[in-house]
Structures are given as C-alpha cells and as structure tokens.
Chain A
Amino acid sequence: MPRFWNVSRNADVALAVLLLTAVALLSVLVPLSWPPDPLRGVLTATFQPPFSVVGEQVHPLGTDQLGRDLLARLALGTAISLGIVLVAEIISVVLGTTLGMIAGYFGGWVDVVIMRAVDVQLAIPFILLILLIVAVVGPGIGNLVVVLGVTGWAVFARVARAKTLEIRELEYIDAARAIGMSKFAIIRRHILPNIVGPQTVLLTLDLPRLIILEASIGFLGLGVQPPTPTLGNLIGEGRAFMLIANWLVLYPGIVIGALVIGCNLLGDWLVRRADSRAA
C-alpha cells in the first residue's frame, strides 16, 4: 500500500474533526462560561432575532418565546442530548457485544435464541417501540437512556458473533483451551480484544441513527420534557413560532446535521483505514 496522502481523504477527516470539535466545544464551554440562564428568560426580550442586543446582553442566536437566550439553551440541549445518546450507545455496545460473543462462542441453541432475538429487535420499528415504552414508563432522562440503550444492541451482537466465529477457529484459541483456560476467560482475554476495533467503527456509524432517533422523540414531545432543553424538543417547541422566529428551528437542526455529518465522515474514514490495513 503506497503511503501517499490523498487530498480529498484528508479533507474528509479534517471536516469531521472540525465539526465534532465545534459541537463538543459548544456543549462543554458555553454552559460553563456563557452568562445567560438557559431556563429563565427575560419577558421584555422575547423573540429577539440573532445578534440582537438587549440591555448589556448580546444574543448571538436570538431569544425564544420566553425571552431565553437560544445560544445558552442550544448549548445545554446539545450537552443533554449528547449525554443521553452516548450513555445509551455504551449500553447497546456492552449488551450487544456480550450477547454476540456468547452466541458465537457457544453456538447451539444459545446461538439460535440470541440470533432470533436479534431478528425480532430489528423487525420492530424503533421509534414506535420506544414511544410505546416511554409512554408506559414515563419520559424521564433515565428511562430514555435505558430504553434507547436496550433497543439498540442488535447490530452490535451480529458483528460480535461473526467476528467470534472467525476467531474461535484460530490456533491460539485451541492452545488456550489446551492449557485449561475457562470459556469465559478465553472470551474475555482472547476474543474481546479483537472485537473492540470493529465495534468502535460500528459505534461511530450507529451514533447518527441514535442522534436522530433521540431528536425525533424529543420533537414529538415524548422525550425529556421542557423547560429542560434537548436538540429535539427545542425544535418541537420552536415549531409553534416558526413563522415569526425561524431561528428557533434553524439552529438546533444545524447542530444535529453537524453531529451526524461528523460521525458519518469519521466512521467512513475508520472503515477505509481498517480495510487498507487488512489488505
């Protein structure tokens, strides 16, 4: 493989890093350092367009129907949405990888049961199942994280199983078995380390799905409840005022877009890198 730097490939990763860094800075630095309160507004300063100045305070992204600063709300909403999505994704990865490795290593009826559960999970439209569960258990942040996490494990289980089936046949696994290592020790010490790489790539490519799903639930008003902002419920709330204050809908969508594009480009790059190593 000749080691030359393809300009367009570099541009991909650069753009991904740029977008993801910008969103990360927005969600971390702004809540820590930007003075306006994201939850309490100034009722004399409602629906101020972007870059307007009220008293001493600049509102770079404008204000909402209660005179709350949109930049402050957007930053907090991004942080909350990202937190929900990342914790849920970790639950999915851990659950899926564990079940996938068990299915792949043990085979037999264990494999059959787990893989049919994967099919069932993939057959149910996520959004409807999640809406049903959230409607039953209530719309708290904790509930949402658990529901999103528990319903997203199937793809990770599939990949972990396929990878385990491949590794299981290698000689060093025979050797480990011959010296009397237990099955779970083999899975943990010899199979898991080989699965971490592919699962990281898959996680990057799965994040956009979850980001949009969380935002859709928030938009429908069935996720985290206002006044606590999330990327989805900001758009859902802003929808009622979009004729007079379209910035309330515009900016949260741009943040979602930046996140999704960033993850997709990064994921594509990770796939390409893994492919060129294997070749």
Chain B
Amino acid sequence: MIPVKALSFVAGRALQGIVVMFGVSVIVFFALFLTGDPAAVMMPPSATRAEIDAFREAMGFNDPIWVQYGRFLGGVLQGELGISLRYRRPALDLLLERLPATALLACTALLWSSLLGLVLGIISAVRKNSAIDFVIRVISLLGQAVPVFWLALIMIIVFALKLRWMPSGGIGTAKQLVMPSLALGAYYLSAMTRLVRASLIEVLGENYIRTARAKGVSNWRVVVHHALRNALIPVVTVQGMYFAALLGGAVVTEIIFAWPGIGRLAVDSIQNQDFPVVQAVVLFAAFVFVVVNFLVDVAYLWLNPRIRL
C-alpha cells in the first residue's frame, strides 16, 4: 500500500504545478499589454488607423481586461490556444505539427549526453586527480563555456563547409540529426559530467563505502552497486532545471540547422508578429517544464525512501 505521506507529497506537488501554470498564463497573457495597445503591436506597421481599430474590435481588445483574461484562460483550459494571425489556423495545431521534430532532437541530445555524461562522471570520480580526470574536467568546463549557437556554427564550418562530411541542415535523414543533437547535447553533457563527478566523490567518502571495501567488495562493485544509487539522487533532482536550458538551446539549434520544430516556430512567429502562436509555444513549454519537474519529484520519492515514510 502507498503510504499517506507519499500520496500527500505527490498531491501537493501536483497542486503546486497547477498554481505555477496559472501564474504562467497570467504572465503570457499580460505580456501583450505591456505597450498598452496589443492591436497596434500585432498589426503590420503599414496598417491604417481604421484597420487597427477594426482589428481591435474583432479581437475583443475593447472589453474590460479581466473579461479578456477570463476568455483567454477559458480557451486554454479547453485546449484552445488562440488562432494564428498569419496562417488563420489554431495555434495548437501548428504547435503539434512541429512537436515531433523537436521531441526527436531533444530526446536524441538528452540520450547521448546523459549516458556519456554518466560514464565520464564515474571515470572522473573514481580516478580523481588523475590525468584522465583532468582531461574530462577541461572538456566539461569548455562544454559549458561556449554558447550552443557558436558551437553549432563552428561545427557547420568544419564538418559541412570545409570537410563536407555532414549536411549543414534540414531534416529527414539520420545524418542530418547528428550535428544538431551533438550541438544541443554538449552543454548537458558537461553539466551531467560535473554533477555525477561531484556527487559520486562525496558518496565515496561515506562510512558505508569504507565498510563495503573492508569486506573485500571489488572496486567497481562498490561504485556500481553501493555508491551510484545514492550519488544519483542529487543528479536527478536538478534535471528539471537543466531541462529549461535544453529548451532554450533547442530554439537556437533549430534556427541554425533549419530544423522545423517548435523553437523555430516561436522565432518565426515573433518575427511575423504572430503573437497567439508565441503565447501558445511559451505556455506549452512551461507546461512541459512543470510536468517534467513533477515527474522528477516523484522519481525523487522513489529514489530516496527517507521521505517516503
């Protein structure tokens, strides 16, 4: 049976997520009103006074603002995220069409970087202060230092323009997935390596590890069976934070590699002043973030029995 405390913990976190999404909807809605006149912001600069007035009336911007927010929130709750001004189609449809591309890119990047980060972090921690540890630390320092877009451009210059090994952009073949996912995963790889290393070094200093060694357990068995499980707790808890960085990186990566995902949709929409689509993307990204963090909290509960009682 699931203990009551665990259930109330999960329910509390779910409630917190709902409150956060409510706050996000307020910010996303009111961002449009920062200049005072959303109609003027959304219409092209060439629009006449009369056109702007007609548009304002049609969009309902003349209603009291709380009525407008109520309408917006009501729509969001029913899965209606507004209509694209440019494509005259529901923003949610546009978003869902682009979602698989972003999901493919993000998951590939996450997969290779977290697996490699785990391996490098373990090696680095076990061989602490050795030459290989030094090399791994330098690589992870560099990986966090360069912006995703710069790394992506350098990769294009070297591997696409100079060596002609890789296509410089587009989607469809496995080869076209290589460079975008490498560029996007680089930061995550560094973060993961540093986290695993720091956490594992701390755990390896604990008394129960010394006990295991004293019993004659082999070195790798100590690391894999005794230390790693506890070392991964802090690593899991910060995954949610890094997920936000991954989403941000996906925006520029998609622009550079002409990858037709939701990040590119967002930037295109901003440039076309198609604000309903931008609002939809921000809301959706925040929703994914909240869900991921909720899952991380639940995973934390499972990994750390001390808070389960």
Interface of A toward B, CB cutoff 8 Å: 116-117, 119-120, 122-129, 131-133, 135-137, 208, 212-213, 215-216, 219-220, 222, 235, 239, 242-243, 246, 249-250, 252-253, 256-257, 260-261, 264-265
Contact = CB atoms under 8 A, between A and B. Distances in A.
B28 A132 contact: yes
B179 interface: no
B289 interface: yes
Contact of B41 (A123, A136, A252): A136
Given A136-B31, A220-B255, A261-B142, A122 B244 contact: yes
A135 B248 contact: no
Contact of A242 (B20, B35, B157): B157
B136 interface: no
Contacts of A250: 154
Given A120-B24, A129-B282, A249-B153, 12 more contacts: A124-B286, A125-B244, A127-B247, A128-B281, A132-B282, A137-B34, A220-B267, A222-B267, A239-B153, A249-B157, A253-B146, A253-B153
B147 A256 contact: yes
Contact of A125 (B144, B161, B286): B286
Contacts of A256: 145-147, 150
B16 A119 contact: yes
A257 to B, nearest CB: 5
B99 interface: no
A246 B34 CA distance: 39
B270 interface: yes
5 contacts: A123-B293, A124-B289, A131-B266, A136-B41, A242-B153
A136 B279 CA distance: 12
A222 to B, nearest CB: 7
Contact of A219 (B23, B244, B252, B289): B252
A246 to B, nearest CB: 5
B273 interface: yes
A132 B31 contact: yes
B171 to A, nearest CB: 19
Contacts of A219: 147, 149, 252
Given A120-B20, A128-B285, A137-B34, A260 B145 contact: yes
Contacts of B149: 215-216, 219, 235
Contacts of A252: 150
B285 A264 contact: no
B111 interface: no
Nearest to A219: B149
A249 B150 contact: yes
Contacts of B107: none
B290 interface: yes
B133 to A, nearest CB: 11
Contacts of B34: 133, 136-137
Contact of A264 (B144, B153, B248): B144
B132 interface: no
A274 to B, nearest CB: 16
A109 to B, nearest CB: 14
Contacts of A253: 146-147, 150, 153-154
Interface of B: 16, 19-21, 23-24, 27-28, 31-32, 34-35, 41, 141-142, 144-150, 153-154, 156-157, 161, 241, 244, 247-248, 251-252, 255-256, 266-267, 270-271, 273, 275, 278-279, 281-282, 285-286, 289-290, 293
B248 A129 contact: no
A131 B247 CA distance: 14
Contacts of A257: 142, 145-146, 150
A124 B282 CA distance: 7
Nearest to B32: A136
Given A119-B23, A216-B252, A128 B266 contact: yes
B290 A123 contact: yes
B131 to A, nearest CB: 12
B252 A220 contact: yes
Given A137-B34, A220-B267, A222-B270, A116 B20 contact: yes
B169 to A, nearest CB: 12
A208 B144 contact: yes
A212 to B, nearest CB: 5
A254 to B, nearest CB: 9
Contact of B20 (A123, A131, A243): A123
Contacts of A128: 247-248, 251, 266, 278, 281-282, 285
Given A125-B286, A219-B149, A249-B150, A116 B270 contact: no
A125 B150 contact: no
A120 B27 contact: yes
B153 A123 contact: no
Contacts of A216: 147-149, 248, 251-252
